[in-house]
């Protein structure tokens, strides 16, 4: 009867930002990014990619509550970088990796289908 609509889980409500950024008030080069309507799929790959960046001192994500459809990514970087820079770099690198993966898979697929 009062169940929320199923699409609430993945459609960003009007007037809400997909990603919001909040600096840490006490630590410089630390910030959290709140991503609406995302879950472990994006949270975990971003976290692991951030760990590969030597400028990142801390990176973690949490899903605060299973019924609040958002994740919070927290990044703390060294002084020569910034959380925003690290975040953008992680996304760009993952994007490149997925491009590489796609071409690798397509090449294998071509090899496989020509074998018949």
Partner 1 sequence: MEGMSYARTPRVKIRELKDDYAKFELRDTDASIANALRRVMIAEVPTIAIDLVEIEVNSSVLNDEFIAHRLGLIPLTSERAMAMRFSRDCDACDGDGQCEFCSVEFHLRAKCISDQTLDVTSKDLYSPDHTVVPVDFSDPSGEESSEQRGIIIVKLRRGQELRLRAIARKGIGKDHAKWSPAATVTFMYEPDIHINEDLMETLTLEEKRTWVESSPTRVFDIDANTHQVLVVDPEAYTYDDEVIKKAEAMGKPGLVEISAKQDSFIFTVESTGAIKASQLVLNAIEILKQKLDAVRLSEDTVEADDQFGELGAHMRGG
Interface residues toward partner 1, by CB under 8 A: 6-7, 9-11, 17-21, 23, 28, 33, 35, 38, 40-42, 44-49, 52-53, 55, 80-81, 84-85, 87-89, 91-102, 104-109, 111-113
The pair phi, psi for residue 24, each rounded to 5°, is -75, 135
Complex with partner 1: residue 2 or 46, whichever CB lies closer: 46
| Smallest distance from partner 1 to CB 44, Å | 5
Q: How far is the CB of 81 from partner 1 (least distance, A)?
A: 7
Shortest distance, position 2 Cβ to partner 1, whole Å? 19
CB of 6 to partner 1, least distance (A): 5
Q: Contacts from 50-57 at CB under 8 Å and sequence distance 24+?
A: 50/75, 50/86, 50/87, 50/90, 52/93, 53/81, 53/86, 53/89, 53/90, 55/80, 55/81, 55/86, 56/81, 56/86
Hey, how many other C-beta atoms are within 10 angstroms of the C-beta on 14? 5
Residue whose CB is less far from partner 1, 2 or 114: 114
């Amino acid at each position: 009867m009062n169940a929320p609509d199923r699409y609430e889980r993945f459609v960003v409500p009007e007037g809400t930002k997909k990603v919001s950024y909040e600096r840490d008030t006490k630590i410089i080069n630390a910030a959290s990014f709140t991503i609406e309507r995302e879950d472990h799929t994006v949270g975990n790959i971003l976290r692991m990619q951030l760990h590969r960046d030597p400028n990142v001192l801390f990176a973690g994500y949490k899903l605060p509550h299973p019924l609040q459809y958002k994740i919070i990514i927290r990044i703390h970087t060294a002084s020569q970088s910034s959380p925003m820079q690290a975040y953008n770099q992680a996304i760009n690198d993952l994007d490149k990796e997925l491009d590489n993966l796609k071409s690798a898979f397509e090449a294998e697929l071509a090899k496989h289908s020509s074998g018949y």
